[in-house]
Amino acid sequence: MPLPYAFIAGDVARSSEVNANFNYLLNVLGDLVGPDRISTLKEFLMGNNSQVLFSATSQHYFQLGWNADYNHLGGGIFKYVRFVANKNATALRIGKDGAEFIQTSATSGDLDKQMNTTWALRATSGDDYMFFDPTWSMQTKDGTATLLEHYRLTYVPLQTPKAVYTNTAFADKESYTADVSTYSVVPRNAKMVKISVRIQSGSGGRSEIRWYPAGVTRSINNAIIVAAAANEVGAQSFDLALGTGANKSKWTHEAVGAIASTYVSILGYWI
């Protein structure tokens, strides 16, 4: 529909005509509520390639999405679909459940199954809390982390420590490398673990168990060592960095001298 009033060069417009045109444009977007507010049920689609969507179709939140079309299928069910193929997607949602970022790095496939909450602030009837996806890490470097100090780690204690060894013996020079994430309590993206180690040496003399991040050069200078004299017990709890790259989430330990008995438990992890 055309504007209520049309003008050509040289026309002198009345203020009432200008206001009528302005009110018409506002009413296309929604209803005027007071002098400076519009009420609307419409969504806004904008930006390059029309891939930015501002939506408040849900009764419980509004959402600003990039390359994340959000379609109501009926019955309160919504589905994400890409506006532009071969691009990732991000959404910011604010509503009754707080605020959250929903993202994926995937550029193809079913976007609705790929979009996951990576960070959220929740105000609930119980505890108020901040959530981080455990597959993500906080960093001090805005880019690909290559050193342990590029991470800003958070400690996660285990409700029940995970026993790894119970009364296990190791021969002199016996070594073992393990992927800690296979113990089911430590996520693969963890960077360090806190472990409790107790050893008892055999009668042949003093013994040690040395712990390393998998893949590093083994030497006494970069090992964490638990030692015990002959027939004696040695015990220690410590934080151990895990391997990186092909050795991600792995540790290595080796015995120096025969160890008659070893007890090891994972107390928590850093992520």
What average pLDDT does this structure show over 204-219? 94
Neighbour count for residue 35 (Cβ, 10 Å): 5
Distance from C-alpha of 109 to C-alpha of 112, rounded to nearest angstrom: 9
Residue 22 is assigned to a structural domain of this protein = no
What average pLDDT does this structure show over 220-235? 95
Q: What pLDDT does 57 receive?
A: 67
pLDDT classification of 204: cutoffs 50, 70, 90: confident
What average pLDDT does this structure show over 66-83? 87
Structural domains counted in the chain: 2
Clarify whether residues 159 and 255 are in a common domain.
yes
> Burial of 227 by CB count in 10 Å (0-12 exposed, 13-18 middle, 19+ buried)?
middle
Residue 70 is assigned to a structural domain of this protein = yes
Residue 163 is assigned to a structural domain of this protein = yes
Clarify whether residues 114 and 57 are in a common domain.
yes
Residue 144 is assigned to a structural domain of this protein = no
Q: In the sheet that 224-228 helps form, which strands lie side by side, from edge to edge?
A: 175-179, 250-256, 207-213, 224-228
Clarify whether residues 177 and 264 are in a common domain.
yes
HSE-CB for 15 with a 13 A CA cutoff: 0
pLDDT classification of 1: cutoffs 50, 70, 90: low
Clarify whether residues 100 and 159 are in a common domain.
no
| Neighbouring-strand partners of residue 237 | 196
Residue 111 is assigned to a structural domain of this protein = yes
Judge whether residue 22 has pLDDT over 60.
Answer: yes
What average pLDDT does this structure show over 7-26? 81
Clarify whether residues 128 and 167 are in a common domain.
no
* Lowest mean pLDDT across 102-116, 126-140, 156-170, 212-226: 126-140
Clarify whether residues 172 and 263 are in a common domain.
yes
For 97-112, what is each residue's pLDDT tens digit? 899 999 999 999 999 9
Query: Parallel, antiparallel, or unpaired: how do β-strands 44-46 and 38-39 relate?
Result: unpaired
Clarify whether residues 89 and 50 are in a common domain.
yes
Residue 24 is assigned to a structural domain of this protein = no
Which domain does 196 fall in, by range? 155-270
Residue 48 is assigned to a structural domain of this protein = yes
Q: Which two tokens stand for residue 152?
A: 């800003």
The CATH number that applies at residue 245 is: 2.60.120
Residue 150 is assigned to a structural domain of this protein = no
Q: Say what the pTM is.
A: 0.74
Clarify whether residues 254 and 218 are in a common domain.
yes
Judge whether residue 232 has pLDDT over 80.
Answer: yes
pLDDT classification of 159: cutoffs 50, 70, 90: very high
Clarify whether residues 188 and 244 are in a common domain.
yes
* Lowest mean pLDDT across 1-10, 179-188, 248-257: 1-10
Q: What pLDDT does 32 receive?
A: 65
Judge whether residue 23 has pLDDT over 80.
Answer: no
- Return the amino acid letter for 84: V
For 145-158, what is each residue's pLDDT tens digit? 888 899 999 999 99
